Amino acid sequence: MTNDNCAGGTATELLLDVRKATFGYGPVSIVRNLTMSVRAGEVVALLGANGAGKTTTLLGIAGVLGCTEGSVSWLGHDATAPLHVRVQRGLGFVPGEQAITPQLNVKDNLRIGRGGVAGALELFPELKPLLRRPAGLLSGGEQKMLSLGRAIAARPRLLLVDEISLGLAPLAVRRLLSAVRQCAAGGMGVVIVEQQVRLALEVSHRAYVMRRGEIVMEGASADVSRDAHLVEAHYLDRPVADNADNTGAGNTGAGNTFSSNRAAGAGGNAHG
Ligand SMILES: Nc1ncnc2c1ncn2[C@@H]1O[C@H](COP(=O)(O)OP(=O)(O)O)[C@@H](O)[C@H]1O
Ligand SMILES: [Mg+2]
């Protein structure tokens, strides 16, 4: 897997446009000042340590959690439609926790998806000999293949995938992520949430790194890879530079320009 054919560099359709958004639970804001975009054909990685706010971000993008400040725009419309309407308009979601029905067999699990059985088998022929098996008896990797295959068979325009690698062997993860990459080559936009930095950077075109609810690095994955040690410092919650205490709300690192520590605190450095 390489970062060639980078759809992020071309002007394909803007699927998701999040601007200075705040997401949280009731009165508690978890993700603040989030600015993020996804274009058709692009795999975007959202990286960060456990508890950084990645799942909260996906729930905000999906509209499960309301946006209390800023905006989430989805295919040019303000994303205020209910979740089922957004699914009809092309939103796909593969949650981190078990998404399949364990007592139903593989085929029935695929049947209850919007995309049916054939599309999923086309993407993952490995599931064919397993169709009659109760999904709960599949290996972890096969279960993820099932939930990912089912979501992709519905032909979403934007697919959100939460920590598909959790608990899986590297080979299984590679298989799943290369299928994701293949779908993006066909025009789908994808957000993958990952804790595994190197793997996610390998498969994505662009990446955002989140720390304590704020984006602290973003850029082309190839560029972020070169500074993987910075990403890891954010994971370990270490300061990464002299002015590394990112408490503010600056948002000047736009587009594909690699930027680290872009948030300038209130009264702090403006860029330049
Ligand atoms: N339902 C909830 N209610 C209140 N706080 C929550 C809820 N879910 C998650 N949080 C808090 O939000 C923060 C970010 O969580 P999460 O988005 O799950 O992080 P990540 O996916 O990066 O591990 C954590 O501090 C977590 O305790
Ligand atoms: Mg999570």
Specify whether the backbone of 267 is left (phi greater than 0), alpha (psi in -120 to 50) or beta.
Answer: left
User: Of the candidates 219, 184, 233, 234, which has an alpha carbon nearest to the alpha carbon of residue 52?
Assistant: 234
* Domain-located, residue 51: yes
- Claim to verify: residue 109 and residue 85 sit in the same structural domain: no
- Claim to verify: residue 176 and residue 239 sit in the same structural domain: yes
The pLDDT value recorded for residue 78 is 72
The pLDDT value recorded for residue 233 is 82
The pLDDT value recorded for residue 79 is 67
- Going by alpha carbons, the residue nearest to atom 9 of ligand 1 is 56
Structure tokens at 47: 């990286």
Residue-wise pLDDT for 66-99, tens only, equals 889 999 988 877 766 777 777 788 899 999 887 8
Domain final residue pick, 155, 175, 196:
155
146 Cβ inside 6 Å of ligand 1: no
Contact 94, 161 (CB under 8 A): yes
- Claim to verify: residue 231 and residue 179 sit in the same structural domain: yes
Contact 191, 74 (CB under 8 A): no
- Claim to verify: residue 122 and residue 71 sit in the same structural domain: no
Tell me the pTM. 0.84
- Going by alpha carbons, the residue nearest to atom 26 of ligand 1 is 51
* Domain-located, residue 38: yes
95 Cβ inside 6 Å of ligand 1: no
* Domain-located, residue 265: no
53 Cβ inside 6 Å of ligand 1: yes
Residue 162 Cα to ligand 2 midpoint, Å, equals 7
The SS3 call for residue 84 is helix
Give the other-Cβ count within 10 Å of 270's Cβ: 8
Domain extent, residue 120, equals 104-155
Query: What does the buried/exposed string (b/e) look like for 35-50 if buried means 16 or more CB atoms within 10 Å of the residue's CB?
Result: bbbbbbbbbbbbbbbe
Ligand whose nearest atom lies closest to the CA of 54: 1
Give how many domains the chain has, as a whole number.
Answer: 2
- Claim to verify: residue 114 and residue 237 sit in the same structural domain: no
Residue 142 Cα to ligand 1 midpoint, Å, equals 27
- Claim to verify: residue 237 and residue 108 sit in the same structural domain: no
The backbone torsions φ and ψ at residue 200, rounded to the nearest 5 degrees and listed phi first, read -65, -35
97 Cβ inside 6 Å of ligand 1: no
Give the mean pLDDT per block of 10 residues along the chain (272 residues).
42 92 94 97 95 95 90 79 78 88 96 89 96 96 95 94 91 92 95 89 95 95 90 74 40 37 33 28
Give the other-Cβ count within 10 Å of 56's Cβ: 21
Question: What is the C-alpha to C-alpha distance for residues 266 and 245, in angstroms, rounded to an integer?
Answer: 12
Instruction: Specify the ligand 1 atom closest to the Cα of 57.
Output: 17
* Domain-located, residue 99: no
143 Cβ inside 6 Å of ligand 1: no
Ligand whose nearest atom lies closest to the CA of 95: 2
- Claim to verify: residue 65 and residue 164 sit in the same structural domain: yes
- Claim to verify: residue 176 and residue 228 sit in the same structural domain: yes
- Going by alpha carbons, the residue nearest to atom 24 of ligand 1 is 51
- Cα 244 to the center of its chain, rounded Å: 25
The pLDDT value recorded for residue 107 is 97
- Claim to verify: residue 145 and residue 222 sit in the same structural domain: no
Contact 211, 236 (CB under 8 A): no
Give the other-Cβ count within 10 Å of 2's Cβ: 9
- Claim to verify: residue 58 and residue 188 sit in the same structural domain: yes
- Claim to verify: residue 118 and residue 29 sit in the same structural domain: no
* Domain-located, residue 1: no
* Domain-located, residue 272: no
